[in-house]
């Protein structure tokens, strides 16, 4: 899956039920993760040129808000 994402022209991807950050392998992108107390959470994956100005996370990991 990560190889396919690398070849696409997608700016922002929002993921849920993330169990660990595995996004370091995607060139030209940044990951913002919120892993909660149950070791599951959410993540935003963006291209490097798209930076959030504000990220807020729920302690449970089940919610994440970002302003782009």
- According to the model, what pLDDT value does residue 1 have? 56
Per-residue pLDDT tens for 1-51?
Answer: 566 666 777 888 888 888 876 666 677 888 888 988 888 899 888 888 998
42 vs 7, 45, 46, CA distance in Å? 22, 10, 13
**Residues 17/23/25/27 CA torsion (nearest 10 deg):** 130
* SS3 of residue 5 by DSSP: helix
Q: Is the pTM of this model over 0.85?
A: no
């Amino acid at each position: 899956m990560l190889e396919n994402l690398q070849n696409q022209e997608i700016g922002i991807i929002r993921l849920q039920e993330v169990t660990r950050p595995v996004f370091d392998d995607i060139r030209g992108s940044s990951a913002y993760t919120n892993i909660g107390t149950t070791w599951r959470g959410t993540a935003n994956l963006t291209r490097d040129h798209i930076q959030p100005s504000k990220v807020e996370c729920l302690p449970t990991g089940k919610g994440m808000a970002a302003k782009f």
